Amino acid sequence: MAVRRKIDDYTLCLSCGRSECTERRFHPIMEKSKERSLKMKKLTIDDVARKAGVSKSTVSQYLNQRYQYMSEATRQRIAQVIEELEYRPNGLARSLKQNRTYLVGVIVANIDYNLSIRCVKAIESELQSRGIQTLICNADEDPDKERSHIETLLARQVDGLIVFPTAHQAAIYEKLNEQHTPYVFIDRLVEGVRTQSLLLDNEAAVKMGVSELIASGHSRIGIMTLPLGVQPITPRKERLAGFRKVMEEAGLPLCEDYVCSAAAADLADELAKLMALPEPPTAIIAANDIVLAELLKASNRQGIQIPQQLSVIGIDDAEFAQIYNPAVTTLSQPAREMGTQAAKIIMAGIEDKEKPVPITYRFAPSLQVGASVKDLRRGE
Amino acid sequence: MAVRRKIDDYTLCLSCGRSECTERRFHPIMEKSKERSLKMKKLTIDDVARKAGVSKSTVSQYLNQRYQYMSEATRQRIAQVIEELEYRPNGLARSLKQNRTYLVGVIVANIDYNLSIRCVKAIESELQSRGIQTLICNADEDPDKERSHIETLLARQVDGLIVFPTAHQAAIYEKLNEQHTPYVFIDRLVEGVRTQSLLLDNEAAVKMGVSELIASGHSRIGIMTLPLGVQPITPRKERLAGFRKVMEEAGLPLCEDYVCSAAAADLADELAKLMALPEPPTAIIAANDIVLAELLKASNRQGIQIPQQLSVIGIDDAEFAQIYNPAVTTLSQPAREMGTQAAKIIMAGIEDKEKPVPITYRFAPSLQVGASVKDLRRGE
DNA sequence: TGGAAAATAGAAATCGTTTTAAAAGAAGGG
DNA sequence: CCCTTCTTTTAAAACGATTTCTATTTTCCA
């Protein structure tokens, strides 16, 4: 044990419970540093200029790769000095003067959705390839946090914003329009705001799900979503509305008991109620990741066999859908593509300085066939 | 359908496949904006000063809440003008002058681990409560990306860095020490670098796992990890080494066939090989999220019954462990606490300007009992 | 060799703040 | 009524770059 506890000068083992550790657990011991006090002088462009024997304007030209303004010799000298000194220009000063930060802010409504993370990864990778850094903020479904993040990001002069909005705060976004800050919405819309948006074709997703169920002989189909609330979040609203419409189009009876919107914590109860009906549904569409998770957990606990007793189709990109036994059939979103496109659009907005026509891009879901749908026709 | 396609001026349905959409799918139509060209003049502190009839120094004092330098009347006047104009100070200029950005960079080795996200959420929330913004970067297990992220973040003058390192690039971090930029490691260590680090007590985790299995009568216990590689990543290395040690301490025979490190894609094969042994293990410890995911998927496909045929214990915080049927017993990390502490430590480094003594904090894992371990004693 | 054009270097203004030191005004005491 | 002593207010110098415009040097050609 001794070895493990000495990886560094001190290694306090929080699991050992020894009394000697307790006191200092979370109180890092500091020691005054002499060097720190005598203010570290930072390297500036002047230092480089002096050492290279040129003016700082020349160095600046070099930094911005305008080599036509200097002789080959100067160029090399500057390069060498920068190398030696390990000089790195101060991004703040640069951005201040250039009025460009090469920063794009991403505000995620809820980072717990797998979709968010997948989109963000795509956004980051696309932007990075263009030399832009991404500042990710999580609003945690709180409109106030969303607003405050926008304020902070603007104060930092970000070049653009990609937003998974939490609510319908049109006023904020109107202001962004006024000051010509490019922004796009992704996954969800904000009512009354004219800008570019990228979303799943939610109705198509529901339709594909229902079709799949019908093809397997189901007709008693239900849907579970999170609560709609006063300002319904786009995907929930569209998926629910889509469900009603699609069922009607398919000529299937829509039983209101089969349509349920409830908070995550209440979904288990709702499921129990559904299954206790004289005529329970034979299949349920889980309108998103979170609903699917609750649904699976609840059916484990309640001993509901999937798909023998209940067929399930999920919408979204939950990782666990593929891992669950049986694998859950889902309608997944082209998250990578959506993120990449969002990034491209925002870059167009930043670089072209032209006002884009508001467009809502709709992305097609794709069916990931699992084994969570029972084929009623063959009585499997 | 018509309604849905007109949420905004244009709504192109990417799922409908109509030929008319195809062309413009990803080519946002731009229109020249007249206003954009006549350069938006940004509101500055001068505008406020002029309108309030005071000097800009006074306004600046106001902005920094040093009200003792002005009369109550001026104070109110400035407040009002700022309100009217909706003036927001330029963060770049501020940071440049103050030599403080109120930005902390977080570099995540791999954002696909649930642990990463949970830590990041905790970090973000702790920092935000102190008025600090978090800039999250994903290194994607690529040391070059890690390095480049550090460079960019430093160029932006972040106040501190929280790093889930990808490899053992000591040199970079030495430089951080030299220039007195506070940073901490989390989840993994970098060999040869003296700083504060926060990690799971990996050995304790393995020990708890093995104990749990022994308590249920298992003795043929295996472990699966991702590849160790040339520069072994801390948790893998420690968990594997810990396993060997703990088995020995427990007086159990350690069969080398039961110890396997392989890439995610090869784990299914490895599992098949293990189960095909004349004496297959009765239990396996999955050393992290990814291994557990592959293990579960593979056993689904290979028809291996958990826990009847094989007991499983996972280390880490995979969401799907609780959702899987049966729920998987895991050793989970106190991610929230780790993140919060990392944030606190980095803030201490930033504010106290004192050099911390290098400490490696070890966090205790906790056992989440599921139903993935068969009790061999009762022949369950 | 003179002079114009091209190449190179440098001075100074600027970006939008903060901060310091000093000026101006008000109040109080003798 | 002048001199202190506070209280308010302001001017000016940073912060670390970029950029424009001018000055200097080279080069080249007649």
Tell me what pLDDT residue A14 has: 35
Report how far residue A159's alpha carbon sits from residue A318's, in angstroms, rounded to the nearest whole number: 32
**Chain C bases near protein Cβ (<7 Å):** 7-12, 14-21
Structure tokens belonging to residue B363? 């966090």
Nearest nt to the A71 alpha carbon by C1': C8
Q: State yes or no: pLDDT of B121 exceeds 50.
A: yes
Could you tell me which CATH number the domain at A202-333 has? Answer: 3.40.50.2300
Lowest mean pLDDT among A16-30, B129-143, B254-268, B269-283: A16-30
Please answer yes or no on whether A96 and B91 come within 8 Å at the CB atom. Answer: no
A31 CB neighbours in chain B (<8 A) are: 354-357
Q: Tell me, what's the pLDDT at B353? A: 63
Taking all residues of chain B, what is their mean pLDDT, rounded to a whole number? 87
Residue B107 backbone dihedrals phi, psi, to 5 degrees: -110, 115
Percentage with pLDDT > 70 across chain B: 88
Per-residue pLDDT, B357: 86
Does B150 contact A at CB distance below 8 Å?
Answer: no
More confident residue, B378 or A205: A205
State how far the Cα of B362 lies from the Cα of B338, in Å rounded to an integer. 9
For position B253, what pLDDT does the model report? Answer: 87
B3 touches chain A (CB under 8 A): no
- Long-range Cβ pairs for the range B242-249 (8 Å, 24+): B242/B202, B242/B203, B242/B204, B242/B205, B242/B206, B242/B207, B243/B206, B243/B210, B243/B285, B245/B203, B246/B203, B246/B206, B246/B207, B246/B210, B247/B210, B247/B221
Q: Which CATH superfamily is domain A100-199+335-363 in?
A: Response regulator (3.40.50.2300)
CB neighbours (10 Å) of residue B10?
16
pLDDT of residue A129: 94
Which pLDDT score, from 0 to 100, does residue B4 have? Answer: 30
Nucleotide nearest to B60 (CA to C1'): C18
> Given an 8 Å threshold on Cβ–Cβ distance, is A8 in contact with B197?
yes
How far is the alpha carbon of B214 from chain A, nearest alpha carbon, in Å?
A: 20
pLDDT score recorded for residue A356: 76
CB contact under 8 A, B29 and A300: no
- State the pLDDT at residue A15: 33
12-31 of B, contacting A, C-beta below 8 A: 12-15, 25-26, 28-31
Per-residue pLDDT of chain A (380 residues; tens, 9 = 90+): 222 332 233 333 333 323 233 323 333 333 333 333 334 568 999 999 999 989 889 999 999 988 887 888 888 899 999 999 999 999 999 999 999 999 999 999 999 899 999 999 999 999 999 999 999 999 999 999 999 999 999 999 999 999 999 999 999 999 999 888 999 999 999 999 989 999 999 999 999 999 999 999 999 999 999 999 888 999 999 999 999 999 999 999 888 999 999 999 999 999 999 999 999 999 999 999 999 999 999 999 999 999 999 999 999 989 999 999 999 999 999 999 999 999 999 999 998 766 778 999 999 999 999 999 999 886 44
pLDDT at A40: 59
Spatial distance from the CA of B68 to the C1' of D7 (Å)? 9
CB of B96 lies under 7 Å from some atom of strand D: yes
Start-to-end C-alpha separation, chain B: 56
State the average pLDDT over residues B7-19: 33
Residue with tokens 């109110």: B76
Q: How sure is the predictor about B35, in pLDDT bands with cuts at 50, 70 and 90?
A: very low
Quote the tokens at residue B373: 């371990």
Query: What pLDDT does B18 receive?
Result: 31
**Average pLDDT estimate for B186-214:** 96
| pLDDT score of B26 | 34
Query: What is the per-residue pLDDT for B354?
Result: 66
Q: Where are the domains of chain A?
A: 1-30, 100-199+335-363, 202-333
Return the amino acid letter for B169: Q
Residue B331, SS3 per DSSP: strand
User: Which amino acid belongs to residue B344?
Assistant: K
Bridge partner residues of A362 (DSSP): A199, B13
In whole angstroms, D4 C1' to B69 CA is: 21
pLDDT of the residue at B213: 96
Same fold, A100-199+335-363 and A202-333: yes
For chain A, how far is it from start to end, CA to CA, in angstroms? 56
Strand partners, A225: A261
For an interface test with B, which of A7, A193, A347 has the most B Cβ atoms less than 10 Å from its Cβ? Answer: A7
Q: Do residue B11 and residue A345 have CB atoms under 8 angstroms apart?
A: no
Cβ proximity of A373 and A283 under 8 Å: yes
Distance CA B92, CA B102 (A): 11
Instruction: Spell out which residues of chain A touch residue B91, defining contact as CB-CB under 8 Å.
Output: 152, 155-157
Provide, as residue numbers in chain A, all residues whose Cβ is less than 8 Å from the Cβ of B312: none
Tell me the C-alpha to C-alpha distance, in Å, between residue B99 and each of A313, B181, B197. 54, 13, 26
| pLDDT confidence of residue A69 | 78
For residue A68, what pLDDT is reported? 82
Task: Pick the closest to residue B8 from A360, A182, A203 (CA basis).
Answer: A360
